[in-house]
Amino acid sequence: MNFSHWLAKLYALLAPKTEVCLACNRPIHRQQGADFRRYDPFFQNTDSTLHGASLTRSSLFTRPTEHPFINLCEACLCQMAWIRIIRCPICGRAIGCPDCTRRGSERTYFQYNRSAVQYSPPMREWLAQYKFRENERYLSILGYMALFAYHQVLLQQLMYKQSPRIDLITYVPVSETRLQERGFNQAEQLARIVAQYAHVPVQSLLQRNRHTIKQSMKSRGNRIEDMKDVFSAVNNANHQLQSLFKIRNPNNPDSQTLRILLVDDVYTTGSTINACAHQLKKSIDPVHKLEIYSLTWARS
């Protein structure tokens, strides 16, 4: 190797690497002074203005060691469809909501749902990249985004004058066939990331007994009928929950209520979450009380 070749190699090694955006594959050009963190809703608002004194970000979860948004370009960061204003207190939608008011005779078994983003076309594409094209690098981004919904769940508890708390995280299961096809359960992966940041235990409490066709393709009546018996609690669910009750402080007046956070990727009509919540409530000894909260990455 002659000297000029050697020098060219050295330059290539020392030159700043062009980072490529994870979502659009274009080079990331950051403008002077621009910071990817300003697209992070937790960095935009100082703890005191957003969360109130008793719900600071640092009390909720640990900071990521490397911020996952660093891998996205400005154009893609702009597309994150954060749900900042909630219009429907039940499903956490940003727009008016016929689904929740129409649930009517079908009982609601969960407290409420909160989602991080609206299921806009770019968000749909991100999820598809991760779920169907096995682009695993999306997981850290989606998981971190889900924390925004976690924060919203606790914030709502605070607004209802409860102490903000989740005791256990679980997730909507996929069928055995789906698990073998895809190799992973997206809801479980999201749940595990949230649990890790928030330092809350995560347990598998539900199983899916069969596939269902896409919920959005069906009429409301068919949807409710179709969800019957799709899910059931795992055999030892009651035992797992009982042991959690035991470790709770008996002097605490609400130690007899266990708060479970149920995680899924997308909330469409709420029938999946509601069916899962129903099964969880059925699985527990009636002397104890479960409150089930729902966290979904997106709200369609």
CA distance 141 to 116: 12
Round to whole Å and give the CA distance between 30 and 32.
6
Instruction: Decide whether 81 or 90 has the Cβ nearer to Zn ion.
Output: 90
Q: Which of the stretches 21-29, 52-60, 126-134, 139-147 binds Zn ion when contact is defined by CB under 5 A?
A: 21-29
Closest approach of Cβ 238 to Zn ion, in Å? 30
Burial (CB < 10 A; 0-12, 13-18, 19+), residue 115, is buried
Q: Which is nearer to Zn ion, 21 or 224 (CB)?
A: 21
Establish if 94 lies at the interface with Zn ion (CB under 5 A). no
Pick 73 or 284: Cβ nearer Zn ion: 73
The CA distance from 293 to 119, in Å, is 20
Answer yes or no whether residue 273 interacts with Zn ion by CB under 5 A. Answer: no
User: Per CB under 5 A, which region of 9-17, 34-42, 53-61, 99-107 contacts Zn ion?
Assistant: 99-107
- Pick the piece of the chain touching Zn ion (CB under 5 A) from 14-22, 37-45, 210-218, 221-229: 14-22
Query: φ and ψ at 118, to 5 degrees?
Result: -80, 150
CB of residue 78 to Zn ion, shortest distance in Å: 9
Give the separation between CA 113 and CA 202, rounded to whole angstroms.
18
Near Zn ion by CB under 5 A: residue from 50, 97, 158, 244: 97
Burial of 300 from C-beta contacts in 10 A (0-12 / 13-18 / 19+) = middle
When the beta carbons of 23 and 233 are compared against Zn ion, the nearer one is 23
Pick one of 36, 42, 51, 73: the residue that binds Zn ion (CB under 5 A): 73
Q: Quick check: 23 binds Zn ion (CB under 5 A)?
A: yes
Phi, psi of 260 (to 5 degrees): -110, 135
Take residue 263 and report the two structure tokens written for it: 């995680």
From the list 81-89, 152-160, 219-227, 244-252, the region that binds Zn ion by CB under 5 A is: 81-89
Task: Give the range of 40-48, 89-97, 231-239, 249-257 binding Zn ion by CB under 5 A.
Answer: 89-97
Dig out the tokens for 169 from the structure.
Answer: 């995280």
Q: Cα–Cα distance between 19 and 287 in angstroms, integer?
A: 56
Among the listed ranges 5-13, 22-30, 42-50, 168-176, the one in contact with Zn ion (CB under 5 A) is 22-30
d(CA 30, CA 74): 7
Query: Applying CB under 5 A, does 77 fall inside the site for Zn ion?
Result: no
CA distance 233 to 240: 11
Q: Does 90 bind Zn ion (CB under 5 A)?
A: yes
Rg (CA), the chain: 22
Name which position in 50, 100, 234, 244 contacts Zn ion (CB under 5 A): 100
Candidates 88, 145, 154, 230; binder of Zn ion (CB under 5 A) is 88
For residue 165, give every residue at least 6 positions away whose Cβ sits within 8 Å of its Cβ, in sequence order, or none: 154, 157, 259
Chain residues binding Zn ion by CB under 5 A are: 21, 23-24, 73, 76, 88, 90-91, 93, 97, 100
